[in-house]
Amino acid sequence: MRFWAYRTLLLTTWTAMVIKPQVMAQLDPQKLAAIEEFLTETMACRNIPGLQIALVTSEEVLMAKGYGLSNIEKKTPMTERTVTSIQSISKGMLSTLVAAVLSDLNQSGLDFDTRLQAIMGEDFNTSDPLVTEYASLKDFLAMKSGCNFPEVLVESFQVMSPDEFTRNLKHYKCQWRFRTGMHYSTTGYLVVSKALEKLTGKSFDQLMKEYIFNPLGMTDSDIVSKATEIYGFSHAYTTGSDDISDVEVTPAFISQSGYMMGGAGVAFNANDMANQSGHMMGGAGVASNANDMAKYLQMHLNNGKNQDGQQIIDESNLRITKENWNVYKYKPYSLPRPTFPEGLVSGAYGFGWIKGYQKGYAMLHHPGNYAYYRTHVVIWPDLDLALFLHTNGRQFIDQIDATFANFIYILDVLNGDVPWLNTTTRCSFPEPWRTAVKALPESIPTDLDPALSLEKYVGYYGQPGYGCFQVTLINAVLEMTYGKTGEFELHATGNGHEFWRKGKGLQAWRWSKQDWYFAESPYPRTCEFFVDSGNVTGASCKFDFNYEGYEKINGEKPEIEALCSEYTTGIPSESRTPLPTPELLLPTWAIVVITVAVGLVVAAIFGCIIYRGRKMKRKEAKDTLPDSNAYLYGRQNTELSDAADDKNIVPMDYETAVGEINPGATVERHLDAMNDLNESTGDTDSAGGPRSTTVRVEYQPDANPSQL
């Protein structure tokens, strides 16, 4: 009897392990209609322009649809194939990519514990010696390195490239002790992306295509900076300071950012996003859509197999990415009981996955938020169910609340439970259970006076690893330019030399005193200038980091530009690598032969030119000689000169003529020539007869020919 009890227990356990969990109630038409109604009504009451959803099991795509608009101005619909920025969902994709690469290199001895310095060598060098020497792939993927490098340098302001940023890691202070807790860091995932590039010799986008996109048939997905616009790229929208959000501003809003201050909606188009989050690579740089994300989530539900049943990622490596590697301490993504009717708790962090429980079911999820793109993925492994949700605006808090409300309601419907969110609370959530954040932060004032005249603050400010920003005075307003896309007006706070930074261009949504992602931000948007004896010497600016080391740079513009380039690239001016010598198209011997031949041709041409020039000079000299010396130069009068030319007698000057005569000889040959000329020209004397023969005389070296 005891044997059969044990056998039954083992059989039950084995069955539970090998049989896939199933959704407790499949998606019938009534449930689909209920979910669609909830989504569209939530969009309307929260003023969300567009939404995408993918809902899948391991074997079936239950939903993959789009609602609303991806582009309000053009009335472009949001479809399941509208490509959009998925932001920090990229982190889970990066850890999946690492698992795939390690699976491919399984004989190399590499794993998640491999140290970054072993992969990157001298390219990985931080300000903390412990991190530099011991930090592994796991430390950065689990966000326990203790370092949160400044994101705006690569993403928001584009001060430097990812390569330059990695080279400058030694300049960024690690705020916490190594492996002492979780500290969220998108730039840590950028570092891992660069490590993969170093390890494989391939770019991040090549790796994503080779290991993730192509094997899964994710044909529309790419990194943001290369995202296809075949099906359109979703625009993102936000509201202005008066919370008006029903006015659309053209996507080319860079030149019209002033509209933002009047409260109109502002759009972020595909090109804008390509210039921003695409630089974050595996941290926030992937673009996808509901259609492709359905395939990606199914692969996770199938433990690394694609739709054809092919194992594209080792199951054990993929499982490692979802284990508890750190304590997740951020509260916005938890709905604890008894405050809420249903408990949703997030307590651990894997590699790009937040781990928790909803209604008692284990869940893996992660948000992706930036510039009013809001995305969330959820996997309920016990239910064989996964969800992708994306919205494109407008108010940050409303979008977060809408995302929670949507997947809470969807799970209730699929489980056959009575939803605790109804037609009223879906729009008021988290109220009445928790007070919602409704008030927008205070706008930046523009009418306060600074402590010094505005001209005093104009100039360049920089520091190694952070590049430089420039402050200019335009129409009585200080303006700051930092990187390619960091544009701000500076307005005095009334507190000494402190100024508010009011965003322009791509930073136009930064119009408030504090970041309005959350009610209380640790980074008020200010810059404080340092002054010594009435002269500004430096500045401290609060971005997504607080750095007080910007020094004012004085000197000529070329010197300033050279120093700022060094601060940005991390390469000292004197050690810059010269441009590589182009590869020769011909062998050396052929180049030598061609060079010699060309040289000879050129020499011949110049020789001809010189000979012709000398000949002309001799002719000119002959024409200008005096008649008294004509008999020495083949000329006596005009007729004699012409005849002499026919005889090819070469004219020469007097000194040359004398110098060419042998002192021991006579001028006989000249006299004979003269007689010959007389005969040939018919020259006669005054009587009409032939001119008498010229008298011969002995050569007298010291005598002038005219005296002979």
Going by their DSSP bridges, the two strands 477-482 and 84-85 should be labelled as unpaired
- CA–CA separation, 240 vs 238, rounded Å? 7
Architecture of domain 454-571: Beta Barrel (2.40)
Find the Cα–Cα–Cα–Cα dihedral 169, 174, 177, 178, rounded to 10°. -20
Please give the pLDDT value at position 10: 39
Across the strands, what pairs with 172? none
The CATH T-level fold of domain 23-428 is Beta-lactamase (3.40.710)
In angstroms, how far is CA 618 from the centroid of its own chain?
70
How many CA atoms, within 13 angstroms, populate the side-chain half-sphere of residue 383?
25
Residues in the chain: 708
Token pair 């909606």 is found at: 265
Please give the pLDDT value at position 451: 92
- Secondary structure (DSSP) of 69-96: EEETTTTEEP-TT-BEE-TTHHHHHHHH
**681: three-class secondary structure by DSSP:** helix
Residue 233 exposed, middle or buried by CB count within 10 Å (0-12, 13-18, 19+): buried
Please give the pLDDT value at position 502: 85
- Element containing residue 390 per DSSP (H, E): strand 385-391
In angstroms, how far is CA 386 from the centroid of its own chain?
33
For 8-164, strand residue ranges (E) read: 50-56, 61-71, 76-77, 84-85
- CA–CA separation, 641 vs 7, rounded Å? 137
Please give the pLDDT value at position 621: 65
Q: What is the pTM of this model?
A: 0.74
Distances (CA, A) of 293 to 56, 172, 218, 266: 10, 35, 8, 27
- CA–CA separation, 653 vs 618, rounded Å? 9
Residue 514 exposed, middle or buried by CB count within 10 Å (0-12, 13-18, 19+): middle
Q: Backbone phi, then psi, for 653, in 5-degree steps? A: -80, 170
Cβ contacts of residue 32 below 8 Å, gap of 6+? 62, 63
Q: Are 189 and 352 in contact (CB under 8 A)?
A: yes
- CA–CA separation, 191 vs 617, rounded Å? 76
Please give the pLDDT value at position 87: 87
Please give the pLDDT value at position 447: 86
- In terms of phi and psi (left: phi > 0; alpha: psi -120 to 50; beta: otherwise), the region of 146 is left
- CA–CA separation, 136 vs 116, rounded Å? 5
89-104 vs 186-200: helix crossing angle, rounded to 10: 30
Q: Are 491 and 448 in contact (CB under 8 A)?
A: yes
Please give the pLDDT value at position 511: 63
Of 239, 219, 240, the C-alpha closest to 228 is: 219
- CA–CA separation, 440 vs 240, rounded Å? 10
Low-confidence residues in the chain, pLDDT < 50: 1-25, 241-265, 274, 517-522, 578-579, 581, 625, 627-650, 652, 654-667, 686-687, 692-697, 699, 703-708
Domain range list for the chain: 23-428, 454-571, 625-707
Cβ contacts of residue 214 below 8 Å, gap of 6+? none
Q: Are 380 and 363 in contact (CB under 8 A)?
A: yes
Which amino acid is residue 185, in one-letter code? S
Structure tokens at 147: 């370092």
Please give the pLDDT value at position 66: 96
